[in-house]
Chains A and B, each alone.
Chain A
């Protein structure tokens, strides 16, 4: 059975031994994130901080709760969705994709039935800084909330548009939001509300149930609702409740909800911040202002945060896990829906927001160009610089297999394709542009344009090394497990794995 709340999810993790509770007081000022970074680096359990030093608060901090085990980053999400742990990447994707094909509309609940309304503060009682927002890295521009779901109005769906954008706290009622034009919610602000000089109502939902967190990381097409896909994922409706100060709806089981609006024609400093590239990036820029009108929360709210920058290289954190566990299956569904013969679209495990690997058939000449063109002009526009296309029988979850096929099958003469050289937009979070090139454009993107590239690492029908039959490999793995090798290192329990190289 799927987890119906963030607390349910934490309980599941605890039952599996994946939670480590810290009874000692820990400061929000770097200490909680330092411990979380250790947990991330060591592939250890999720830290749960019971007591916050120097602050009278009942709020608990949870460090990178969505980070999955390195060997199978999707494992925790599999449990949250009611699947068993230990699934291979292929099987996990198959099951999530099945769920995404059956969206389920949300169910509305009354305020009194919504746990997130246990405490309600509005107007002058709003006190953002009474919560232990973490200061995550030395050198960050401020304290951040960076693991939340932003609910914004959408004329095409009743339930609004869900997404995720980091938020830097300024005082008891104001924060700046990193809104980068090109994404759906920022576009709504920059090209709809702000030109009309209207505030855009939003709600920042912290500690939403796992499927909500998942869908906020997906690219749901216009006219479709993240709320329905979240219901599909959990195989049952997500419960929503109306906001106190706007007509937006928020997940009723959320830990904490900040209601407010993004002011037009107003900016506050934002950044620098050690974001997903694994490097501190700046410069400090001016970003739209979120003014908080109301705060509602559960008793003893759990406030999750992500130590960004630790999800590159060998490391995993919440955001890198969300890419592989949520965005990947969603992209696979989206590409198939667009008519492409894609087997799987999976973020590269070492830098999950910059490179993706897509296993696919190539049914006609020019197919990969069309596929790349489609992605680079839609959901891959801002953050993703590279795609690697591999044969359908190469498992994109297996980075060694992918690296091998790049080395052996991607001809520098014919298979490396640069798109729109110095003509394409880019987020300023990258580290390969100079500060001058990033500039301070009004709508968030870098001043200088860049390029995108794709690598055709398919075999083009060239001969490739043969592999043993799946059954023989399975027998070998079973024999090795009998001899004492760690069963967790083998894919023998997954029949589909035998199909891959």
Chain B
């Protein structure tokens, strides 16, 4: 699959990336956040040090507005699909990057990043509005064990030219010896960072990438921290200096809502860059941030794969854990196979993910790109007394919401916004649509009239 730099060029070629010339009086994370709020294009921050930053490359248009592009259009392109690919195509492509691939066949090539003089501070990672130090975001950590190479998301701060403080999944940390080498890669192919997120949100970081589909999709090169994508823009080799540093950042990348994370202090051993590196950044904590989208889509892919392989059939059309709802609600479109299936479906989703306390079920014919219809059907089809179903108040609080952070138990809720399979067909109200509400001859006439006028 395509290298990161080529992916960024592709976005620019599709007019889905805008260049901003430095210097930047406004913090990069604020600019990136405002562009995302406005469903704007990805941004490329051109800087005098030769290291460009890009934001929004793993995010996209807000689902709350009807647009030609979807929040997953850019990532689809990055994973080798058409930008118009369906959500399900993307979810399946994401799943294919993870464990369970049949005989992955890695390819090995030379390292694109070859400049070795750079100091990590010379990269000038952006300092966010609320940050004390420059922030490293959207990194992929690579470590080598006897089983192979393991990848996971990583983020943190550049404390000095030789010192980083980072957060990694604790499942990665548990694989490490005290002085282990961690290679941090910035600007990896979209398939690689997606795989790292998928491994983190499915708690499969202990699975070596040699057993994952991503090994066949991304050319690799060895480093002191194991295999990394050979086209990586910046490679930072580090050693662990403190496994329990006295450091706790308030900043959380979104994958940390799914899996526990730990802090590490690292010393920088070597920095490799390409000639004109371009590095992805995400405005952590802001609406629709890249890390939020990556976490939502990889979580949805994992759930979609598990649910549709559970009952011997595949009743679920799609699953979304949208960034627009800050990952706090799971939306699922499904064939409601029989009375009570909706209860089964909602509760198996609660079993498979602790991210959310709320599940919304819509009919299988509701397309995910028509999220406006989802946001209507919740309130139209679901009977306010009968179809908002609350569990006993004994469930642990989900990890994403802000309430009940004290460990107190409570209820979960699912909203059944699908037709009741027990209803007679005559009870089912037809939708008002252009196709349903007019015979074909009238539709043809209307289209002709409209097009005549629009082209005149």
Contacts and interface: CB of A to CB of B under 8 A. Distances in A.
Does A associate with B in a complex? yes
Interface of A: 20, 22, 24, 26, 30-31, 33-35, 37-39, 41, 43-44, 70-71, 137-139, 274, 277-282, 308-310, 312-315, 348, 350-351, 354-355, 385-386, 399-401, 403-404, 406-416, 418, 421-422, 430-435, 450-453, 459-460, 462-468, 472-473, 475-477, 479-480, 483-486, 489-490
A479 B45 CA distance: 12
Contacts of A422: 385
Interface stretch (B173-181, B222-230, B428-436): B428-436
Given A411-B404, A490-B34, A35 B383 contact: no
Given A407-B325, A407-B326, A480-B34, A313 B410 contact: no
9 contacts: A39-B450, A43-B66, A385-B379, A400-B288, A404-B324, A432-B380, A472-B129, A473-B30, A479-B25
Interface stretch (B90-98, B137-145, B370-378): B370-378
Contacts of B449: 22, 24, 26, 31, 35
A452 B381 CA distance: 14
A416 B43 CA distance: 40
A30 B439 contact: yes
Interface in B386-435: 387-388, 390-391, 393, 397, 400-405, 410-413, 423, 426-427, 429-432, 434
Given A408-B328, A418-B384, A477-B34, A413 B429 contact: no
Interface stretch (B6-14, B159-167, B306-314, B440-448): B440-448
B104 interface: no
B38 A279 contact: no
A485 B403 contact: no
Contacts, number: 262
A382 to B, nearest CB: 13
Contacts of A403: 64, 324-325, 329, 375
A202 to B, nearest CB: 28
Contact of B324 (A278, A386, A400, A453): A400
Contacts of A465: 285-286
B379 A348 contact: yes
Contacts of B24: 479
Given A281-B429, A400-B62, A407 B356 contact: yes
Contact of A412 (B38, B358, B382, B400): B358
A9 B129 CA distance: 46
A24 B62 CA distance: 39
B328 A351 contact: no
Given A22-B453, A408-B328, A418-B384, 10 more contacts: A31-B446, A34-B443, A37-B438, A309-B432, A312-B372, A399-B375, A404-B324, A416-B390, A450-B385, A480-B20
Contacts of A310: 432
A38 B385 contact: no
A453 B384 contact: yes
A455 B30 CA distance: 31
A267 to B, nearest CB: 23
A381 to B, nearest CB: 13
Contacts of B382: 432
Contacts of A432: 380-383, 387
Contacts of A278: 376, 380, 431-432
Given A313-B370, A473-B30, A408 B401 contact: yes
Given A464-B402, A483-B19, A413 B438 contact: no
Contact of A274 (B64, B401, B423, B432): B432
Contacts of B372: 312-315, 350
B65 interface: yes
A140 B176 CA distance: 69
Contacts of B385: 418, 421-422, 450-451
